[in-house]
């Protein structure tokens, strides 16, 4: 099984592919909080046939790392993103 993570900037989402098939994504909007650019992670989706494999966690962690690497803060509108950050405190500093 091969996993590929991508930032699809045109669709404003992060995607995860398993064996070449889109398995899920996390979408966002960009805005500014004060003077800080931020990505509002609004929705995370895992397609039913891929649930139970940690797909959402992988795509959210990828989105958080990529956002950090590119100077973005995070607005965790999506409940799953909020829960993930609460459980992985190393990303707490990203929250706008």
| Over residues 61-66, mean pLDDT | 98
Q: pLDDT (tens digit, 9 = 90+) per residue, 31-58? A: 999 999 999 999 999 999 999 999 999 9
- Return d(Cα 55, Cα 50) in angstroms, integer: 7
Task: Report pLDDT for 36.
Answer: 96
Confidence of residue 71 (pLDDT cuts 50, 70, 90): very high
Percent of the chain at pLDDT exceeding 70: 100
Helices (H) and strands (E) in the chain, counts: 2, 5
pTM across the whole model: 0.96
Give the 3-state secondary structure of residue 11.
helix
Task: Report pLDDT for 48.
Answer: 98
Task: Report pLDDT for 27.
Answer: 98
Phi, psi of 49 (to 5 degrees): -70, -10
What is the residue-averaged pLDDT of the chain? 97
């Amino acid at each position: 099984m091969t996993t590929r993570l991508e930032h699809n900037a045109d669709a404003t989402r992060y995607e995860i592919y398993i064996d070449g098939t889109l398995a899920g994504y996390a979408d966002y909007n960009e805005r500014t909080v004060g003077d800080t650019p931020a990505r509002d992670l609004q929705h995370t989706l895992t397609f039913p046939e891929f649930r139970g494999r940690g797909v959402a966690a992988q795509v959210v962690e990828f989105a958080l790392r990529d956002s950090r690497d590119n100077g973005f803060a995070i607005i965790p509108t999506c409940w799953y993103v909020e829960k993930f950050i609460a459980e992985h405190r190393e990303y707490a500093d990203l929250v706008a």
